[in-house]
Amino acid sequence: MKLKLKIWRQKNKDAKGQFENYTIEANSHMSFLEMLDVLNEELIAKKEEPVAFEHDCREGICGTCSMVIDGQPHGPWEGTTTCQLHMRHYKDGDTIVVEPFRAKAFPVIKDLVVDRSAFDRIIEAGGFISVNTGQAQDANAIPIERDVALAAFDAATCIGCGACVAACPNASAMLFTSAKVSHLAMLPQGEVEAKQRVLNMVKQMDREGFGRCSNITACEAECPKGISIENIARMNREYLSASIGSDKSM
């Protein structure tokens, strides 16, 4: 099938970008990234600059294939990363608009590639458990209620792709940050550092320039892993509790 592609091209973060038009013959069995691979092979054969885009596992696990397709992060399929989107979803003659995630905290590096290291710095601020000596206990040595364990695991499935930021009109990172806070806050291993963790991570999130959450819930709708906004409510409670405790200790 023949497709028309309208792809954002931008040499670097300081350059002025623009959409470029391409036409390509695609097989319905191709994944979206395979289709872009074919386009790049054609561009290279013509001695033209290939389209820069990120990818790694191509199995919907790592989240690096982040891009906005026809106005939706990761494309039109619900619960799907870009690499798991297949061309059978499209019809002959369709026009597909492809652009990078748009957020102040995610500056464009080149074409469809953005710098998402802001997420790394949020994790570095507190998204971990400190173990100063010895090894971790066996998993079944610490009894945890099944519902709590499942909720913690659901939060931990966040792959940090940034679709929540791209979907939010405020470019908020609340869903990502709350997922990272929640999966540790619900487990006994994370209780020791819980208060300092949420204070540090929220502070770093604000420092990175992400917008405020206004409960539009587009983040949950576009998240490829179905992370619930219940995590945002949980993080708000954790933050309020930690803030009150911090004020009393001052």
Are 218 and 125 contained in the same domain?
yes
pLDDT tens-place string over residues 92-151: 999 999 999 999 999 999 999 999 999 999 999 999 988 776 676 676 778 889 999 999
- Which of 91, 110, 129 is a domain's end point? 110
Does residue 79 sit in the same domain as residue 9? yes
pLDDT digits (tens, 9 = 90+) for 150-206: 999 999 999 999 999 999 999 999 999 999 999 999 998 888 899 999 999 999 999
Does 144 share its domain with 198? yes
Is 132 found in the same domain as 97? no
- Which domain, by its residues, includes 235? 116-249
Secondary structure of 78-134 as H, E, C letters:
CCCCHHHCEHHHCCCCCEEEEECCCCCCCCEEECCEECCHHHHHHHHHHCCCCCCCC
Among 110, 131, 150, give the residue marking a domain's end: 110
CA distance 231 to 236: 9
Assess whether 229 and 134 both reside in one domain.
Answer: yes
Dump pLDDT digits (tens) for 14-25.
999 999 999 999
Q: Count how many domains the chain has.
A: 2
Same domain, yes or no, for 136 and 99? no
End position of a domain, from candidates 110, 141, 172: 110
Asked whether residue 53 carries a pLDDT value surpassing 70, the answer given is yes
- Do 61 and 165 have their domain in common? no
Paired sense of beta strands 2-9 and 95-99, if any: parallel
**Are 71 and 158 within one domain?**
no
| Statement to judge: residues 98 and 148 lie in one domain | no
List the CATH number of the domain containing 82.
3.10.20.30
Alpha helices in 12-52, H assignment, sequence order = 32-45
What are the residues whose beta carbons fall under 8 Å from the beta carbon of 76, sequence distance 6 or more? 69, 70, 85, 89
pLDDT band for position 250 (cuts 50, 70, 90): very low
Residue 249 pLDDT > 60? no
- Residue pair 183/152 in contact by the 8 Å Cβ criterion: yes
Q: How far is CA 72 from CA 56, 80, 183, in A?
A: 21, 11, 27
- Pair 203, 168 in one domain: yes
Q: Are strands 95-99 and 68-69 parallel, antiparallel or unpaired?
A: antiparallel
Tokens encoding 198: 């949420």
The model scores a pTM over 0.85: yes
Is 203 found in the same domain as 127? yes
Both tokens of 30, joined, read 């191709």
Residue at token pair 């806050």: 185
- Read off the CATH number of the domain in which 228 is found: 1.10.1060.10
Domain co-membership, 213 together with 122:
yes
Closest CA to 36 of 86, 101, 78, 106: 86
